Amino acid sequence: MTELPLPSRAVAVPKDLLATISEQAEKADARFEAFYTMEMPRVSAFLMNLGASPYEAADATHEAFVKLLPDKWQCLEHPGAYLRKVAFRNYLRQTNSRTVPTDPVPDRPGGTCPVDLVILTGEQQQMLGLLATLPPAEREAMAWNLDGFSHEETAQILGKNPAAVRQAHKRARARLISALGLKKGATTSE
């Protein structure tokens, strides 16, 4: 193996430039920490809407965050959408022998377990049960919609036709309304 020759003369880097670079790195770390704190529970809930257990969701989401490190997330136009797509793929790749761990999920640095950040109410748990009854395309369309993405955005992210996503969402919504025993035209009294 051939070694590269050493530079003939060392380059001096001004201290103020090193300080500026260090400050920028700290700011980038702080922005990523804020992004992580905001998106971790949201992406975990998104995956749970798609059928993942809290542990599976946390594991798949963490793997997706690893793919965003160190600075890739800043270069993406829609890092939240990318994160959800990668997390969902990670969830689908998980082994068929899915088991619930007997030990608690280890805390991340800072002392908070990300699974604890996803707190589900009784209504949300009921909704997860109802979402589990939907066909995959309808469930996927509903999960993206529940996470705040439009039909057009969802279609673009998934590489599908917007009309197909809109139709799947419409069918899913009709099934959920029927399952909940709600009337389509019902008005709420305020």
- Mean pLDDT is lowest, of 6-20, 68-82, 130-144, for 6-20
pTM above 0.75? no
User: Each residue of 114-134: pLDDT tens digit?
Assistant: 555 566 677 777 778 888 888
Q: Give the long-range contacts of residues 80-86, CB within 8 A, separation 24 or more.
A: 80/39, 80/42, 80/43, 81/149, 81/153, 81/157, 83/39, 83/43, 84/43, 84/46, 84/144, 84/147, 84/157, 85/157, 85/158
Q: What pLDDT, on a 0 to 100 scale, did the predictor assign at position 190?
A: 37
Residue 72 has pLDDT above 60, yes or no: yes
